[in-house]
Copies of this chain bind each other. A is one copy, B any other.
Amino acid sequence: MENKSYIFNSEIPYEVTGEGTKRKVLAYNDKMMAVENKFQKGAKGAPHKHPHLQLVYVPEGEFYFTLEGETKIIKKGDSVLVKENAIHSCECIEEGILLDIFSPMREDFIK
């Protein structure tokens, strides 16, 4: 799949990542990677950090998003810039998707 230009969502299987959470790795190359994270209501993303720059966009749903100890509510069309090694977490208020774009790509998401 790597370096394919077009990635059609329906052709990518979900990978279960936790209780009420699953993801699809979408288009990427070594410099940038898009990942859809689907959350059921109440599902959480535990606090974590990584050396990759991350941009979060909300295609649908509503979430509490916590960045370096500051929690805000984000919903459709909102975006968050998560700098390298910043601690972040989330909790789903209304079922939906968080789109993460990483730079560079997440090698650990590819088997």
Q: Which residues of A contact B (CB under 8 A)?
A: 3-10, 26-29, 31-32, 34, 36, 53, 55-57, 59-60, 65, 67, 70, 72, 74, 76-83, 99, 101, 103
User: Which of B34, B55, B72 lies in contact with A79, CB distance below 8 A?
Assistant: B34
Name 18 interchain pairs, CB-CB below 8 A, sorted by A: A5-B82, A6-B74, A6-B78, A6-B79, A7-B80, A8-B74, A9-B78, A26-B57, A27-B79, A27-B81, A28-B81, A32-B81, A32-B101, A34-B101, A55-B101, A57-B57, A101-B101, A103-B103
Residues of B within 8 A of A76 (CB): 9, 59
Q: Are B77 and A57 touching (Cβ within 8 A)?
A: no
